[in-house]
């Protein structure tokens, strides 16, 4: 298929998944700000902006963190290329450019998200944050469902899924990293009740609370959480699930095209590396350090995928 078509499919997925990540981030932030801290009710918005990579852009525009501004910045702000509004608009534009590579259902899902977004933006009173985040997750789920139910399983489907898994793994790593920043000033909280509250909130933000309890039961510990969100292939958002997902779709592409690429090799190597990891090793390296490394590896992967398939300069 045309490299440009594949690129747009890949970015539909990345944009929608990124919109969802932002919604989840907002929810985590809002909930964390409700928890008592040693300094009383402390805002952890700063950490959240930093973990999500939005701190610089936000500061330039608004200065000190304030919940209402952060909501605007992460949700509505068109100047922020990663805001929910920007991501949904971009995803729909990606879809419009390659309209004929999509089914009516997939296009409907993208277009409906965009039209409803416009209605939300135009509304006189702003909806509650929880309504907004719910709405985003519903749109993302509808798109995902339309893709799964109606789209041809050709190379384009693989590019879509690679986009989804890449962005989702990145999102999981960043959400976990928020926790690191929140705790950074007071490392002595580790293992306390407060710590567990925060982990549990994080799980809820990833819609994984129940799943976690089914899988592990008992006390929430940071080791169990790290295992669940990083190494457990049953968790739909874990890093290993995301890497395995990418690897699977890259392998399908290699079979379809009858050739392997730098992306095929990089993904196989990353999956092998994660499969060898233990939670002990991760904590030895430092959770934050591990996550930072993963986020960097993801960015590199994005580059390799671009060069291997999407740039159009393939010889």
Partner 1 sequence: MTSYFNEMYQAGGLRAPYRGLEPWAADMPADKRRAKQAEAEALFRRIGITFAVYGEGGDPDRLIPFDMFPRVFTGGEWAKLERGIKQRARALNAFLVDVYARGEIVRAGRIPAELVYKNAAYEKAVVGIIPPKGVYSHIVGVDIVRTGPTDFYVLEDNCRTPSGVSYMLESREMMMRMFPDLFRENRIEPIDSYPDKLRRTLASVAPPKCKGAPTVVILTPGHFNSAYYEHSFLADLMGVELVEGQDLFVDGEFCYMRTTEGPKRVDVIYRRLDDEFLDPLCFNPASMLGVAGLMDVYRSGGVAICSAPGAGVADDKAVYTYVPEMVRFYLGEEPILSNVPTWKCADQDDLNYVSEHLADLVVKEVHGSGGYGMLVGPKSTRAEVEEFRARILANPANYIAQPTLALSTTPTFVDEGIAPRHVDLRPYCLVGEKIELVPGGLTRVALREGSLVVNSSQGGGVKDTWVLVD
Partner 2 sequence: MLLSVDHVTHYTYDRPVRGVVQSHRLTPSRFDGQRVVDWGVTVTGGVMGGTFRDGAGDVVQSWTVAGPVTEISVHVKGQVETRDLAGVLKGHRESVPPLAYLRHTAATQPDPAIADLARLYTPNDALGGAHALSAAVSDAIAYAPGATHGATTAAQALALGMGVCQDHAQVLIAAARVAGLPARYVSGYLQANADGAPHEAAHAWAELCVQGFGWIGFDPANRCCPDARYIRLGSGLDATDAAPIRGISRAAGSTGAASENLSVTVAIAAQEQ
Cα separation, 62 vs 199, whole angstroms: 29
CB of 228 to partner 2, least distance (A): 38
CB of 99 to partner 1, least distance (A): 5
CB of 26 to partner 1, least distance (A): 30
Q: DSSP secondary-structure letter at 126?
A: P
- Biggest distance spanned by C-alpha atoms of the chain: 61
CB of 310 to partner 2, least distance (A): 10
Interacting partner of 100 out of partner 1, partner 2, none (Cβ under 5 to 8 A depending on kind) = partner 1
Cα separation, 23 vs 193, whole angstroms: 26
Give, rounded to a whole angstrom, the gap between the first and last alpha carbons of the chain: 15
The HSE-up count of residue 153 (CA atoms within 13 Å, CB side) is 5
Residue 311 makes contact with partner 2 by CB under 8 A = yes
Residue 100 makes contact with partner 2 by CB under 8 A = no
CB-wise, 128 or 313, nearer to partner 1?
Answer: 313
CB-wise, 5 or 209, nearer to partner 2?
Answer: 5
CB of 14 to partner 1, least distance (A): 16
Q: Tell me phi and psi for residue 37, to 5 degrees.
A: -125, 180
Q: DSSP secondary-structure letter at 277?
A: -
CB-wise, 128 or 313, nearer to partner 2?
Answer: 313
Residue 39 makes contact with partner 2 by CB under 8 A = no
Q: What angle do CA 109, 302, 199 make, to 5 degrees?
A: 75
The binder of partner 2 chosen from 39, 100, 125, 315 (CB under 8 A): 315
Helix H or strand E encompassing 176 = helix 155-183
Instruction: Decide: 54 and 80 in contact? Cβ < 8 Å.
Output: yes
Interacting partner of 296 out of partner 1, partner 2, none (Cβ under 5 to 8 A depending on kind) = none
Residues that bind partner 1 (CB under 8 A): 1-4, 6, 96-97, 99-100, 104, 107-108, 155, 159, 253, 257, 259, 309-315
Task: Write out the residues near partner 2 by the rule CB under 8 A.
Answer: 311, 313, 315
């Amino acid at each position: 298929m045309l490299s440009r078509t594949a690129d747009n499919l890949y970015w539909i997925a990345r944009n929608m998944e990124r919109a969802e990540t932002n919604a989840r981030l907002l929810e985590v932030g809002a909930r964390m700000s409700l928890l008592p801290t040693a300094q009383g009710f402390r805002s952890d918005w700063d950490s959240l902006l930093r973990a999500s990579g939005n701190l610089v852009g936000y500061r330039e525009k608004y200065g000190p963190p304030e919940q209402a501004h952060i909501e605007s910045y992460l949700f509505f702000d068109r100047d922020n290329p990663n805001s929910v509004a920007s991501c949904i608009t971009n995803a729909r534009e990606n879809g419009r450019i390659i309209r004929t590579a999509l089914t009516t259902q997939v296009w409907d899902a993208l277009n409906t998200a965009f039209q409803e977004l416009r209605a939300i933006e135009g509304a006189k009173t702003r909806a509650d944050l929880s309504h907004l985040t719910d709405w985003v997750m519903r749109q993302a789920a509808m798109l995902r469902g339309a893709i799964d139910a109606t789209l041809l399983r050709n190379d384009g489907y693989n590019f879509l899924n690679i986009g989804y898994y890449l962005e989702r793994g990145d999102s999981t790593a960043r959400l976990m990293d928020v926790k690191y920043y929140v705790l950074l000033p007071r490392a002595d909280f580790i293992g306390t009740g407060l710590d567990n509250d925060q982990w549990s909130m994080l799980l809820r933000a990833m819609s994984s609370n129940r799943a976690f309890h089914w899988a592990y039961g008992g006390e929430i510990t940071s080791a169990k959480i790290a295992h669940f969100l990083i190494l457990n292939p049953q968790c739909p958002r874990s890093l290993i699930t995301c890497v395995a997902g990418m690897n699977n779709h890259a392998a399908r592409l290699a079979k379809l095209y009858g050739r392997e690429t730098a992306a095929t090799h990089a993904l196989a190597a990353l999956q092998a590396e994660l499969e060898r990891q233990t939670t002990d090793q991760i904590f030895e390296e430092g959770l934050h350090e591990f996550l930072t490394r993963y986020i960097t590896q993801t960015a590199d992967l994005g580059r390799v995928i671009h060069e291997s398939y999407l740039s159009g300069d393939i010889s």
